[in-house]
Structure 1
Amino acid sequence: MTVEVVPWEDPAVAALRTEQQAELAARYGSQGDLVQVLPTEEMLVTVLVRVDGEPAGCGSVRDASGYGPGCGELKRMYVRPDLRGRGLSRLVLTRLEAEAVRRGVRRLVLETGVRQPESIGLYRSAGYTSIPRYGPYVDDEESVCFERSLV
């Protein structure tokens, strides 16, 4: 297993994001994430996990300084379904948090959905606390938002 920092545009990560959006569309009966387009220039760091050389999971941190100084936002956290239950999502999260701190991020926020209990469990067990829905998720009843201080 390897964990590496890669560009947001990395083809393996792009393929994983496409899979994630298809899974979200199946769960919620929509097109996937409410925010479809994430500008490359806003992405601070992207992490790719490989198992036996094959892409297995990913995640990114976006510049979210619009929500406060030193704020980043977790985006596109995903692990392929056949590889879940092995701690890969926690590995991605831990690496993203460390990389975010290196880039001056002091607080992370995130949005996930009410139909993603595995995600909610991961974030709660990692020390994230519930916050009111923010930004584009304010009126989305199926959104759940969290934050964690990194300092």
Structure 2
Amino acid sequence: MNIHTESPDQPEVRAMLDRLDAYCAALYPAESNHLMDIASLLNGDVLFLVARDVDGRAVGCAALVKRDGYGEIKRMYVDEARRGLGTGRKLLEHLAMFARMAGVRVLKLETGIHQPEAIGLYERAGFERIEAFGGYQPDPLSLFMEKSL
């Protein structure tokens, strides 16, 4: 597997993000979905990573948004066929590496309570639960997490 910075604005990646959107929409009401659109992911303060298998197929993605005082992880997704194989862990490791190189010392994220696999991944990676941060409001369907680098 290879992980590189790529544009989110390509058909194969858009298809993954569409699957993520549909998955989140099935689990949570619109007001509890905090998804970044493609235009926002193309901003200069966003690093977008794509994981590709040995055949070059996109199998996962994640974004790092540089905020005042921290980096926020957004749009983390791993194709269903690749879950449990370390793709998500490797994406998180790459995000942390790039964050450190950019001088970011804390990573934060928001995820939903109905995603135990994602929560477990983040906890195994050293993320701890915190209160709502940034522009988020407390939401009984959201978990907020952070990790010091």
- Asked if TM exceeds 0.5, the reply is yes
State the match for 1:28 in structure 2: 28
CA–CA distance in structure 2, aligned partners of residues 8 and 72 of structure 1 = 18
State the match for 1:53 in structure 2: 56
Q: Provide, for residues 6-60 of structure 1, a one-character-per-residue CA deviation record: whole Å limited to 9, x for no partner.
A: 1343443332211111111112254882344462325431111111211100001
| Aligned: 1:15 with 2:18 | no
How many percent of aligned residue pairs carry the same amino acid? 36
Paired amino acid for 2:59? A
**Tell me, which stretches of 5 or more residues in structure 1 are unaligned?**
none
1:22 and 1:31 in contact (8 A); partners too: no
CA–CA distance in structure 2, aligned partners of residues 99 and 57 of structure 1 = 17
| Aligned: 1:120 with 2:119 | yes
State the match for 2:110 in structure 1: 111
2:8 and 2:48 in contact (8 A); partners too: yes
1:61 and 1:72 in contact (8 A); partners too: yes
Decide which moves more: 114-123 or 43-52.
Answer: 43-52
| Aligned: 1:138 with 2:137 | yes
TM-score when scaled to structure 1? Answer: 0.86
- Number of residue pairs matched? 146
Cα RMSD (Å): 2.0
CA–CA distance in structure 1, aligned partners of residues 135 and 115 of structure 2 = 18
Decide which moves more: 43-52 or 125-134.
Answer: 43-52
1:73 and 1:110 in contact (8 A); partners too: yes
CA–CA distance in structure 2, aligned partners of residues 32 and 139 of structure 1 = 10
Paired amino acid for 2:56? G
- TM-fit CA distance, 1:95: 0.6
Over 3 Å counting, the alpha-carbon distance change for 1:16 and 1:43 in structure 2 is farther
2:36 and 2:75 in contact (8 A); partners too: no
CA–CA distance in structure 2, aligned partners of residues 78 and 32 of structure 1 = 17
CA–CA distance in structure 2, aligned partners of residues 106 and 8 of structure 1 = 25
Over 3 Å counting, the alpha-carbon distance change for 1:7 and 1:101 in structure 2 is farther
